Copies of this chain bind each other. A is one copy, B any other.
Amino acid sequence: MSGRVLLADDHRILREGLRRSLEAQHIEVVGEAADGDEALELAEALRPDVVLMDVSMPVLDGVEATRRIRQRLPEVRVVMLTMHADETTMARAIRAGADGYLVKDCSTEEIAETVRLVAGGQTAVSREVAVSMLREVRSMPPEVEEVVSKREEEVLQLIADGCSSAEVAEQLFISQKTVKNHLASIYQKLDARDRTQAVLRAVRMGIVRLG
């Protein structure tokens, strides 16, 4: 049960360092991927026990890659790696189906231990991550994430930036009608009746940034 591991990170140096560390801990690294798409392909081809996946990667985001891997290959576990214990990213990763969550400055022993635990069916997180999780759970009554779609979020952000419907349409290369459709959907989801209320709610919910 040492575990066959696939590494997914866009930094070659980090991948090689991880490979050495894991192999020193008698964990077999069966492949390396440089982006989310490659991770998905290699996971299907190699069927590792665990994917050690960086959060931020080109082409396909680590969280999205995790979601797809867990969907198509439920027997493949995923451990997320990230620079900082960011609450919202962590929440997204866990909802995407990650079984482990590590911050990059943890020890190699900790990484190896987490890989073994996860390969054995357990879930595990760094101590830093555990602390963040408590904060997250305490402060978040419902699911705040995923209320509005990604496209709707873009529309909201542009509205918050001062754009009119026409300008949003221009920015996103879509018709004004589509913008209005997105807004209508947003109003329903956020229980708002106009752009002003929608933007205010979005600001309060942290969906958009201001200024």
Using a CB–CB distance below 8 Å, which chain A residues touch chain B? 159-160, 162, 164, 192-197, 199-200, 203-204, 210-211
20 contacts between A and B (CB under 8 A): A159-B196, A160-B196, A160-B200, A162-B192, A162-B193, A162-B197, A164-B194, A195-B196, A196-B196, A196-B199, A199-B199, A199-B200, A200-B200, A200-B203, A200-B210, A200-B211, A203-B203, A203-B210, A204-B210, A204-B211
Residue in B closest to A197 when the chains form the complex, CB atoms = B162
Main secondary structure of the interface of A (DSSP, over half): helix
Q: How many copies does the complex hold?
A: 2
Residue in B closest to A195 when the chains form the complex, CB atoms = B196
Tell me which residues across on chain B come within 8 A of A194, comparing CB atoms. 164
CB distance from A200 to the nearest CB of B (A): 6
Besides the known contacts A200-B203, A203-B203, 15 further A-B residue pairs in the complex with CB atoms under 8 A apart: A159-B196, A162-B192, A162-B193, A162-B197, A195-B196, A196-B196, A196-B199, A199-B199, A199-B200, A200-B200, A200-B210, A200-B211, A203-B210, A204-B210, A204-B211
Tell me which residues across on chain B come within 8 A of A200, comparing CB atoms. 160, 199-200, 203, 210-211
Q: Counting chain B CB atoms within 10 Å of each CB, which of A162, A192, A199, A211 scores highest? A: A162
Tell me which residues across on chain B come within 8 A of A193, comparing CB atoms. 162
Residue in B closest to A192 when the chains form the complex, CB atoms = B162
